[in-house]
Chains A and B, each alone.
Chain A
Amino acid sequence: MSGALQIENVEGGYEPGLPILRGASVSVAKGEIVALLGPNGAGKSTLVKAAAGLVPVWSGSVRLAGRDITRVPAHRMVHEGLGFVPQTENVFANLSVLENLQLASALIARSRRRELAEMFALFPDLDRQRKLAAGRLSGGQRQMLAVARALVASPSVLMLDEPSAGLSPKLVGVVFERLKAVRATGVTILLVEQNVKAALAIADRAVVLVEGRERLEGPAAELADDKRLAALYLGAAAEAH
């Protein structure tokens, strides 16, 4: 498998002189689902935001299918083929379901655009709520819409920041099943998650981030039973106390 997304030695943060990412590296091969794990404050969300162009990268590089996209403005990332679904407020609550998708569709070149009918087929719940304001959707439906909004632009890589946040265990299962279906359409996925068990269940590989850099990496099935994973979480918790 070739490299779809390569984040190498990235240092960055919100404020100059206060680094959150301290040389983080994550590589995702084409067609993979990679889970980005780690305790609170490890820099997982910051890393995907940095890759998406929302957090300044001071050094290091982000490559998409070999192309350097480190300094590409956030609004151009969809044109490069990198989709991003933020953790919270990931839909335009004042726009209807249809308008959310129409906006994403209109902003992308016709050649890249996926048909909205295809999105509604992938997420039938959304089809029934087309005219509803996105702010009135349930948590699970919002996640579906956020994913559909990103998929309209045919991303080669989709990054999701904690799609299970705030969802019931049943809904987490539904959302993750949909992510597997998304991967089946040829989309590579980098998944930031706090829900380690659920993430490892659908991921091919996992990378564990601690204090802004990767500390552990391996096949998801192996990491699920790896005591070092728990130790890294507990170590961070012990240090926090």
Chain B
Amino acid sequence: MLQLVADGLVVGSVIALGAVGLTLTYSILRFANFGHGEFMTWGAYLAASALALLLALTGGGAMEPLGPFSFGWQLIVALLLAAALTAALALAVDWLLFKRLRRGNAITLVIASFGAALALRNLVQFLYGTLPEYYTREIQIAIRLVPSGMLGDVLGGLRITPDQMLVIGMTLAAMLALQALLTRTTLGRAMRATAMNPALARVAGVDVEGVIRATWVIGAALAAMAGVFAGIVGQIRPGLGFELLLPLFAAAILGGIGSVRGAVAGGYIVGLAESLSVPLVGAEYRAATAFAVLIAILLLRPTGLFGERA
């Protein structure tokens, strides 16, 4: 049972990172971006390319694992490069597509985001092929979280790999950093002000286009991080982001669309619901469990866990 919780937290971390970006773009750009999952896929593949380049440059061709982890420092650098490149990709998509449609209604933007998602997904397939890829083929030994003899038997031999622990830790650190940015910096306050009232933000002196660009950068960088984490604990596939898109929306809506705290909570609830439901309904239906939880929460609280009432 506790093992399922640990697995759920890992999946939840990836969903939370993606859902935060989704909820940020929704609250500031005011449309549901169905292309957000593709930024995760692109982030994962760009990191793979950056990793290959770094390994070639450092001459080895193989990666020396860093401490207990399955990967070396090269993947950390690759993650940072992928985050920057995915942010640039998001800005390019905004400039080419969304910026031109901003004066239209939200439905136009949503449909455009479907188109952008299709184009981005097919471009990944064209460039990288359809076969799964891995950052590393190092085999990791899951470590026992609680030593035997100290409640170890009661906790059912809970095991987790160092990579999984890093994913959970880095996600929480990223969320704390984002929360600090939103509440303690001028950019964060400007983002919250723009989300609340773009016209008032303008007359107050906020460069709303600048805030929109910052939102794309932050959302896409977090999506790239999520994509790389999904690749670290699993594999990289062209469908990686698309398959996570519905859980991302479920998490963002469940937490209260527009709320960063809500998206994080929603991400972990969806991840845990999916993981914990496997013994009950089987792996085939685990995605449906997240939606059952979503419906239950929305019945009790229509604006989501942290959503504000209209």
Q: Which residues of A contact B (CB under 8 A)?
A: 52-54, 73-79, 84, 86, 89-95, 99, 102-104, 106-108, 149-150, 153
Of the stretches B197-205, B239-247, B275-283, B294-302, the one at the interface is: B197-205
Q: How far is the CB of A225 from chain B (nearest CB, A)?
A: 35
Known: A99-B189, A103-B186, A103-B189. A79 touches B205 (CB 8 A): yes
Check A92 against B203 for contact (C-beta < 8 Å). Answer: no
Report the bound CA distance from A65 to B190 in whole Å: 29
Check A75 against B205 for contact (C-beta < 8 Å). Answer: yes
Interface size, chain B (Cβ < 8 Å)? 19
Residues in B neighbouring A86, C-beta threshold 8 A: 199-200, 203
Select the residue from A54, A84, A92, A95 with max chain B CB neighbours within 10 A.
A92
Q: Which residues of B contact A (CB under 8 A)?
A: 186, 189-190, 192-193, 195-197, 199-208, 308
Known: A102-B189, A103-B186, A103-B190. A92 touches B196 (CB 8 A): yes
Check B205 against A153 for contact (C-beta < 8 Å). Answer: yes
Nearest-CB residue, chain B, relative to A159: B203
Q: How far is the CB of A144 from chain B (nearest CB, A)?
A: 16
List, sorted by A's number, 23 A–B pairs whose CB atoms are closer than 8 Å: A52-B203, A53-B203, A73-B202, A75-B201, A75-B206, A75-B207, A76-B205, A77-B205, A78-B203, A92-B193, A92-B196, A92-B200, A92-B201, A94-B192, A94-B196, A102-B189, A103-B190, A103-B193, A107-B190, A107-B205, A108-B205, A150-B204, A153-B205
Select the residue from B197, B199, B200, B206 with max chain A CB neighbours within 10 A.
B200
Report the bound CA distance from A218 to B253 in whole Å: 56
Known: A94-B196, A95-B196. A106 touches B189 (CB 8 A): yes
Question: A74's contact among B186, B192, B195, B202, by CB below 8 Å, is which?
Answer: B202
Check B200 against A104 for contact (C-beta < 8 Å). Answer: no
Report the bound CA distance from A93 to B190 in whole Å: 13
Residues in A neighbouring B189, C-beta threshold 8 A: 95, 99, 102-103, 106
Smallest CB-CB A-B distances: 3 pairs: A107-B205, A74-B202, A78-B205
Residues in B neighbouring A78, C-beta threshold 8 A: 203-205
Q: How far is the CB of A60 from chain B (nearest CB, A)?
A: 20
Question: B204's contact among A93, A94, A103, by CB below 8 Å, is which?
Answer: A103
